[in-house]
Structure formats: structure tokens, C-alpha cells
């Protein structure tokens, strides 16, 4: 199984995606999803964005460092996250919307832990299905 | 002397008129207001000076004290102030066209907020973060959950600072006056660099001539702000937009900083090919 399935996960989202709190949302291709199967290198629980770095082997087995950005801890807590929910070395599967530039980076959609738990960001007390 | 003390007490009560009735009433202990030394010529009493706070004022029609969040329940893009957008000047059209072009190519054009420049008014009001507002008789202090940006709306009757000495800022200088049940806030004195009216594929600069008038009202338990914005350097006529904000009662703002190591780990903000200057 390929570690990175670019394109195979492509979907067209049925709703608009709001702006990120920090920077332009234009960098991300919300019509595509990429599945990253790898190992956590670092997890930073901070404002305004939490982020995860994941080492993902490519087709040739070379490890590529992917940057995954998430919303703020305030919203993650509401979705059941804790600051120690993952740690370096953990095996994870992360789904992201990739950046359009082709760099190994994306914005978080969901994460499956080794024990099968699936984590998402909290959709919204704001009244929209995908608010961040 | 007694009459003086009584007048101070009356002034203190008047100044506390917008406070909860459960709060203790001021007593003669409010007398330190008299201790404010005389001002030097040309100086303005601080909004927090006891003698300014103690001045008698009518009870305001409403209070905005609370945490507020842009209402995006009907439109997740409601944080934007357009569409509709006004007719742009050639100076602004250049940026609009460039942003559309680069967005179509999957690139980001001049995302200064992403590079940690202040969002500034008006965008600071509609970030996806709560805005804490604390209203006292002389001012409304606003602190955005986004980068802890501070905005002060003065209610103490002062005039705008002369433009030849004003220190230009991204949130500008805001003066509020009550008109019936509406708080009218007039803001000028903006920075005209790295300051934008929109983000994410839409680039319209905000310049030093930017003038924003906000009309605050309480409507259906929401805070409504009607925006009228002019900037003859960048668009023609008045740009109008009305926003509604919901109270947030289960969340306080936190310390939020845009730190260098953050962007180092967010490739979407650091790529040289992504953020075109």
C-alpha cells in the first residue's frame, strides 16, 4: 500500500471552508485529500495553530517530513484532544488537504491512532459543519 | 467642602451607571478622583483617570461587555466584508488582479496576516476568534483572541488626535458617541502598509485615508455592527457591510502570539513560492 495516496482521495466538498485564523486559506487544495501513514516526529500544542510533523515513507522508502497544521487547542479540546494524545514515535494515519504547491504539507482533516481511535477537529459550535 | 464631596459621589454613581445593580454603590471613598493633578496644557485625561471616570454621564443605552464572535451560522464566509465589493481604483485593482491570478495558479499573494502583520480594522473584528470587550464609562477596551490585538474605543468625548501627531496603527483611533440606541464609532489614523481589507484570494489594500464608521446596536440578543468604509485611494464611494456577533459564554480569550517558530513549521506560510511579495 502506498503511504501517500494523492488524488485517490480527491473529493469535492459540498460547503465553503472558512478562513483560517492565522493565514490565507488559499494555499490549501480543499478538493483533495492525502492519506499519510507514518510516524509522529513532533506534536506542538500551541496557539494559534497546533501542528504535527509526521515522517512518511514515500514509494522508494525514503522518509519525507510532512507538516500538518490544525486549529487552535481551544477547539481541539472540545473534540476530545489532549496535549499528550500523541507523542514522537507514535504510528498514525493522518488525512490532510494538501497545499497546492506540492510541498509535503497540508491542513488537518482526521487522524487515526494505533489503537483505532479516530480524531477530528471539532466542527462547530459556530453553526457550520466545518468551522475552525 | 461637603458640597464638593457630594458632587464627587454623584459623579461616581453616574459613572457607575452602566454597572450591575449588584455592585456596591460608590461612597465618599471615591474621593481620590479629586487627587488627579491638573493637566498640562493640551493633554487629554486618560480614559482610566479617576477624575475622568467620575465625570457625570448619561447611562449608556447598552453595554457590550462580553466575548463576541462573528455569526457565521448562515455563511461561513461572513468574516469577509464582501461581496459585494466596491469599484476599485486602478491602484487597488492591480492587487485584486494579482491575487486572482496567483490564486488560480495555486499560490498566495501578499498574505501579510499569515506573516504575522496585524490584521487591523476591519478584519480584526471578524477573525475566527472571540473578541473580548470591556465597557467602562469612558471607553470600550477590546482584545481580540487573535494575536491579542488591542483596540480602544473612547467614549469620553475626546476629539480625534491631530493627524500630524497621531501614531498610525492597524486598528486606528476610534471615538464613540451615542446617538439614541446606537453607538457610532468613528475610526481614522490607520497604517497604510501591510494592511488589507480581505484575505485569501482577495487583495484590497487599506490605506492611510481609510475612514471607518461603525454603528453598534443590540438586535435580537446579538451585537450588530453596520460598517461604512471609505478610502478614496483604493475604492470609490462607500463600502458598506453589516455584521452580527454572538455572545460567547463558555470561552475566554487566551494568550496568542505569532512566533517565528510557528511559521517555520507551517509550510503554507513560509514557502517562498507561495507567498508572493
* pTM of the complete model: 0.81
Query: Quick one: B133 and B228 in the same domain?
Result: yes
In a domain, B11, yes or no: yes
In a domain, B58, yes or no: no
CB atoms A128 and B103 under 8 Å = no
In a domain, B124, yes or no: yes
Minimal Cβ distance to B256: which of A44, A48, A99: A48
β-partners of residue B151 are: B142
In a domain, B37, yes or no: yes
Nearest-Cα distance to chain B for A111, in Å, is 18
Question: Given a cut of 50, is residue A117 above it in pLDDT?
Answer: yes
Domains defined along chain A, listed by start: 25-120 (2.40.50.1010)
Contacts of B69 in chain A (CB under 8 A): 126
In a domain, B200, yes or no: yes
Tens digits of residue pLDDT in B197-254 = 998 889 999 999 999 999 999 999 999 999 999 999 999 999 999 999 999 998 899 9
CB atoms B76 and A20 under 8 Å = no
- Say what the ipTM of the complex is: 0.70
Q: Which of A48, A56, A67 to mutate to test the interface with B (most CBs of B within 10 A)?
A: A48
Query: Quick one: B42 and B94 in the same domain?
Result: no
Query: Quick one: B128 and B38 in the same domain?
Result: no
Contacts of B201 (CB under 8 A, 6+ apart): A24, A26, B99, B100, B103
Nearest CA in chain A to B76: A18
Number of structural domains in chain B: 2
CB atoms A128 and B72 under 8 Å = yes
Write down how long chain A is: 132
Tell me how far apart the terminal alpha carbons of chain A are, to the nearest angstrom: 32
CB atoms B256 and A27 under 8 Å = no
In a domain, B243, yes or no: yes
In a domain, B225, yes or no: yes
Tens digits of residue pLDDT in A8-27 = 333 333 233 343 456 777 77
Tens digits of residue pLDDT in B148-179 = 999 999 999 999 999 999 999 999 999 999 99
Query: Quick one: B129 and B153 in the same domain?
Result: yes
Task: Write the DSSP assignment of B163-205 as a string of letters.
Answer: TTT---BSS-EEEEEEETTEEEEEEE-B--SS-BS--SS---B
Query: Quick one: B120 and B242 in the same domain?
Result: yes
In a domain, B61, yes or no: no
Q: Which of B224, B225, B162, B226 is nearest to B189 (CA)?
A: B162
Domain that holds residue B170: 66-276
Query: Quick one: B47 and B84 in the same domain?
Result: no
Query: Quick one: B255 and B176 in the same domain?
Result: yes
Nearest-Cα distance to chain B for A65, in Å, is 11
The mean pLDDT of B39-68, rounded to a whole number, is: 94
Query: Quick one: B163 and B38 in the same domain?
Result: no
Contacts of B72 in chain A (CB under 8 A): 18, 126-128, 131
Query: Quick one: B49 and B79 in the same domain?
Result: no
Sign of the Cα torsion A101, A103, A106, A110 reads positive
Tens digits of residue pLDDT in A35-60 = 999 999 999 998 888 999 999 998 89
Contacts of A47 in chain B (CB under 8 A): 254-257
Amino acid at each position: 500500500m502506498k503511504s501517500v495516496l494523492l488524488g485517490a482521495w480527491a473529493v469535492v466538498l459540498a460547503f465553503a471552508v472558512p478562513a483560517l485564523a492565522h493565514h490565507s486559506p488559499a494555499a490549501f487544495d480543499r478538493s483533495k485529500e492525502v492519506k499519510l501513514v507514518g510516524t509522529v516526529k513532533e506534536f506542538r500544542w500551541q496557539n494559534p495553530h497546533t501542528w504535527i510533523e509526521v515522517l512518511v515513507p514515500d514509494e522508494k522508502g525514503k522518509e519525507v517530513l510532512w507538516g500538518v497544521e490544525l486549529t487552535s487547542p481551544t477547539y481541539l479540546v472540545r473534540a476530545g484532544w489532549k496535549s499528550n494524545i500523541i507523542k514522537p514515535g507514535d504510528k498514525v494515519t493522518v488525512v490532510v488537504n494538501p497545499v497546492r504547491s506540492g510541498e509535503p504539507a497540508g491542513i488537518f482533516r482526521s487522524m487515526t491512532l494505533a489503537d483505532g481511535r479516530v480524531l477530528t477537529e471539532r466542527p462547530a459550535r459556530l453553526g457550520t459543519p466545518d468551522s475552525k | 467642602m461637603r458640597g464638593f464631596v457630594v458632587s464627587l459621589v454623584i459623579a461616581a454613581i453616574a459613572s457607575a451607571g452602566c454597572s450591575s445593580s449588584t455592585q456596591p454603590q460608590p461612597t465618599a471613598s471615591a474621593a481620590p478622583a479629586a487627587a488627579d493633578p491638573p493637566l498640562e496644557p493640551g493633554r487629554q485625561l486618560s480614559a482610566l483617570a479617576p477624575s475622568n471616570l467620575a465625570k457625570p454621564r448619561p447611562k449608556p443605552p447598552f453595554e457590550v461587555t462580553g466575548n463576541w464572535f462573528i455569526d457565521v451560522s448562515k455563511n461561513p464566509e461572513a468574516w469577509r466584508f464582501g461581496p459585494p465589493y466596491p469599484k476599485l481604483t486602478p491602484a487597488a485593482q492591480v492587487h485584486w488582479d494579482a491575487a486572482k491570478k496567483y490564486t488560480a495558479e495555486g499560490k498566495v499573494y501578499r498574505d501579510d496576516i499569515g506573516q504575522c502583520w496585524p490584521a487591523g480594522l476591519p478584519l480584526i473584528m471578524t477573525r475566527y476568534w472571540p473578541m473580548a470587550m470591556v465597557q467602562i464609562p469612558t471607553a470600550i477596551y477590546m482584545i481580540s483572541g487573535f494575536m491579542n490585538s488591542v483596540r480602544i474605543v473612547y467614549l469620553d468625548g475626546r476629539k480625534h488626535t491631530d493627524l500630524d501627531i497621531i501614531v498610525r496603527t492597524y486598528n486606528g483611533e476610534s471615538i464613540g458617541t451615542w446617538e439614541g440606541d446606537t453607538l457610532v464609532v468613528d475610526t481614522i489614523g490607520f497604517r497604510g502598509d501591510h494592511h488589507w481589507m480581505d484575505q485569501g484570494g482577495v487583495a484590497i489594500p487599506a490605506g492611510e485615508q481609510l475612514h471607518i464608521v461603525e454603528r453598534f446596536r443590540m438586535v435580537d440578543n446579538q451585537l450588530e455592527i453596520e460598517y461604512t468604509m471609505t478610502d478614496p485611494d483604493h475604492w470609490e464611494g462607500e463600502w458598506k457591510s453589516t455584521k452580527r456577533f454572538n455572545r460567547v459564554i463558555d470561552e475566554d480569550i487566551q494568550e496568542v502570539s505569532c512566533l517565528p517558530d510557528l511559521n517555520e513549521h507551517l509550510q503554507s506560510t513560509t514557502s517562498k513560492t507561495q507567498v508572493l511579495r
